[in-house]
Amino acid sequence: MNIFISTGQNKSVKTSKFLRFLLNKKIFKIELSAGPYEKNILDKIIKFKKNIQIHNYFPVPRNPFIINLASKNELIYKLSENHLKKSINFTKKIGSKVFSFHAGFLVDPRVKDFGKTLSKFKTNNKSEVMKLYIYRLNRLADYAKKRGVILLIENNVITKKNLNRFDKNPFLMTNFSDTKKIMENTRENVGLLVDVAHLKVSAKTLNFNPKNFLIKTNKWTKAYHLSDNDGNSDSNKNIKKSSWFWKYLNKKAIFFTLELKNLRIHNIKNQIKLTNSKLNN
């Protein structure tokens, strides 16, 4: 099984330093995501020649912004497209075949708000944004295909607090309807990455069964992000033997990434062991 550890909850330590630490502790499958900006990060990573992949906001830009390929703000769209193309090129250079990133939004969140309750902005027309997003995603997929890279789109998370602040759900792909429309109208090298923790929160907020979502999206699902929570917020808690999703996962997925808040080595190794055990049942 390809079980990766995400660096997404590492907010302060330089990626190259944290990567070296994990490798020294014999954690060899690593998904790089977020962290502080680091100059010449490709040169620092490529020398390790290990099983490394990148996700969403990596390589971290010098000037932070929120990626939104669905933005109707031309500046944000161009920043997003340029970043994603850079990440696709980065993926090829490190010898990886897959790059994953989040679905788009009907608003443009500020950096300081992201992951929290959003400031209230006017939401854009959903049908217009969806059409725009699919068009841009297909264009990006063509760019990725020429470089031998598969794109995986991750389902967004909607909390009750954020839903109550807007006239409608500000995020694409928090439910099956959006996911189906995007997956059915994009290129063959575009697949789905299901974050089960995002799904749990969105399902509680929007009142649908997350197990049904996993079953109905199985044919598009190429990878998973695994963590757990109480259904109210994406808290990146440890997974358990009793976690709700195990029975419904596509065990033939390309990879499974553990997105954990607790990045102590002992905890990481225990979580990998548990994941291996459940996926090999």
| Residue 2 to residue 141: CA distance in whole angstroms | 24
Q: Tens digit of pLDDT for each residue in 93-132?
A: 999 999 999 999 998 866 555 444 545 567 889 999 999 9
Query: Residue 118: its pLDDT value, please?
Result: 46
The candidate with the shortest Cα–Cα distance to 216, out of 172, 178, 254, 160, is: 178
| Residue 183 to residue 217: CA distance in whole angstroms | 9
| 3-279 is classed CATH 3.20.20.150 | yes
The model's pTM = 0.94
- Residue 59 preceded by cis peptide, ω within 30: yes
- The first and second tokens of residue 2, run together, are 């390809």
Q: Which of the two residues, 69 and 35, has the higher pLDDT score?
A: 69
Q: Can you tell me which residue has the tokens 């997105």? A: 259
| Residue 162 to residue 198: CA distance in whole angstroms | 14
